[in-house]
């Protein structure tokens, strides 16, 4: 079978876990979960006298439909859909057939999809799978990466390194501190993702429960709907059109986009550190870095991560801009877009796998770090200037500027300069220790 997307071909194994949430089969399983849950909720509503509460045995049989939903069952829905040309209606017909076989429930099958529009089922289904995917796949992977970064950052907190601001040598920093910058940024977004929860819409064709009220005008449908949505782990919306306005999808897309952007920044910085030689990459036996240059050990993991994070962001940014906009009470342009949610999460997941692999092969080259610092003694100018200001030396900045700006100086030049200063011997000694 030929694959159209690399997520289902070259990178299939790296994104396998997401298929439990974002495949067509997973979506239909979620739809079945919604429909059966609603069916049971209706039976328990005392105001619906025509539909008595399902027994424990019947409920167990209903839940087994979800538990035993396999690719074979999914194929049955696709077969029905060929006739209906409507995916949610196909799920409804499939369930009516299954439930009719449960003793005592055949006469109540019209309560499947009772008063609902397809968007009632779809938005709750997407809500379920996104909440679960974020909780079980996305967050644990991000937390693992953050922990790995924090661990390496703490180990390298005292490893002094040359800074580059505007691409030019600047005041020294440490490898650990620069690593922790990204840990702190990432953890802030992780916390926001942890607090995020999908919303739910459940009000019928135009969000008014009008069909529900036509059948049972005295029932408190808003309360029933809100209780049902909370049972699915979703935050109920009170006022909607036919559809969930998708602000929840925009919110999670914005969070994911910020996470991806932070990781793109990290990937590029590490790429430059490797290029400078600050980081060495472990050589893997049998690997080839170039088809023509035998010596190459390329930073491909960080390049792959950057590229896939960009692809992920292209989709997440589109989701955030497009999905919250719908013409009047409903248009269908959101439907085909939402089917690509798994693609965005897929490229994100693929990128994190590359980053984890890349970082596992890195080590600090202490000799390169020291050589860089030794080659640029002028970066001590800021520290010297501050000590001069502290001691009231007039024109401290200008003195250091005249000595260092645009000039190639040596450590001895700085020592000579410090010896010429009219400050205490103790301060001169402390300044020389900084060089």
Catalytic residue annotation: 166, 290
- Which residue intervals of 156-280 are DSSP H helices? 175-195, 210-215, 221-231, 247-276
Question: Are 19 and 26 within 8 A, CB to CB?
Answer: yes
Q: How far apart are CA 190 and CA 186, in angstroms?
A: 6
User: Which tokens sit at 290?
Assistant: 């170039």
| Separation between Cα atoms, residue 17 and residue 138, nearest integer Å | 10
CA-to-CA distance for 117 and 243, rounded, in angstroms? 9
Contact between 159 and 175 (Cβ < 8 Å): yes
All residues at 6 or more sequence positions from 308 whose CB lies less than 8 Å from its CB, including other chains: 347, 348, 350, 351, 354
| Closest to 366 measured CA to CA, from 93, 106, 61, 159 | 159
- For residue 331, which phi and psi values (nearest 5 degrees)? -135, 165
CB within 8 A of 282, min separation 6: which ones? 360, 361, 362, 363
CA angle 51, 56, 61 (to 5 degrees): 90
Q: What's CA 71's distance to the chain center, in Å?
A: 28
Residues ≥6 apart with Cβ < 8 Å to 39 = 62, 95, 99, 111, 112, 114
- Shortest CA distance to 314 belongs to which of 344, 336, 294, 335? 344
DSSP string, 124-181: HHHHHHHHHHIIIIIHHHHHHHHHHHHHHHHHTTT-EEEEEETTEEEEEEEHHHHHHH
Q: What angle do CA 351, 354, 355 make, to 5 degrees?
A: 90
If one counts every other C-beta atom within 10 angstroms of the C-beta of residue 44, the result is 13
d(CA 206, CA 218) in angstroms, rounded, equals 19
């Amino acid at each position: 079978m030929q694959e159209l997307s690399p997520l289902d071909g070259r990178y299939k194994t790296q994104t396998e876990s997401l298929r439990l949430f974002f495949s067509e089969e997973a979506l239909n399983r979620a739809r079945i979960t919604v429909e059966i849950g609603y069916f049971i909720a209706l039976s328990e509503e005392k105001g619906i006298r025509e539909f008595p509460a399902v027994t424990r045995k019947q409920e167990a049989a209903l839940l087994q439909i979800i538990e035993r939903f396999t690719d074979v069952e999914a194929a049955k829905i696709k077969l029905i859909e060929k006739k209906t040309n409507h995916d949610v209606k196909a799920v409804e017909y499939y369930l009516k057939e299954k439930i009719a076989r449960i003793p005592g429930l055949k006469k109540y099958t019209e309560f499947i999809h009772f008063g609902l529009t397809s968007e009632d089922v779809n938005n709750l289904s997407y809500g379920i799978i996104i909440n679960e995917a974020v909780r079980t796949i996305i967050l644990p992977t991000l937390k693992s990466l953050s922990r790995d970064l924090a661990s390496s950052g703490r180990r390298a907190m005292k490893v002094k390194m040359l800074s580059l601001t505007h691409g030019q040598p600047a005041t020294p920093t440490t490898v650990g501190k620069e690593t922790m910058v990204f840990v702190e940024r990432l953890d802030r977004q992780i916390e926001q993702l942890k607090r995020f929860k999908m919303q739910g819409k459940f009000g019928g064709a135009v969000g008014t429960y009008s069909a529900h009220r036509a059948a049972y005008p005295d029932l408190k449908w808003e309360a029933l709907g809100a209780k049902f949505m909370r049972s699915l782990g979703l935050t109920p919306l009170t006022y909607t059109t036919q559809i969930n306005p998708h602000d929840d999808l925009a919110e999670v897309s914005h969070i994911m986009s910020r996470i991806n952007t932070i990781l793109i920044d990290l990937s590029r910085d590490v790429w430059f550190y490797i290029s400078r030689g600050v980081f060495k990459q472990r050589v893997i036996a049998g690997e080839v870095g170039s088809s023509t240059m035998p010596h190459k050990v390329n930073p491909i993991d960080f390049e792959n991560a950057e590229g896939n994070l960009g692809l992920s962001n292209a989709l997440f940014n589109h989701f955030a801009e497009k999905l919250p906009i719908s013409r009047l009470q409903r248009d269908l342009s959101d439907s085909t877009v939402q089917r690509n949610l798994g693609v965005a999460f897929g490229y994100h997941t693929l990128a994190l796998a590359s980053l984890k692999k890349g970082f596992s092969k890195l080590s600090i080259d202490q000799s390169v770090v020291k050589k860089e610092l030794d080659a640029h003694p002028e970066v001590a100018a800021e520290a010297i200037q501050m000590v001069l200001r502290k001691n009231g030396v007039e024109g401290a900045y200008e003195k250091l500027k005249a000595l260092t700006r645009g000039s190639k100086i040596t450590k001895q030049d700085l020592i000579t300069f410090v010896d010429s200063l009219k400050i205490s011997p103790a301060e001169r000694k402390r300044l020389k220790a900084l060089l």
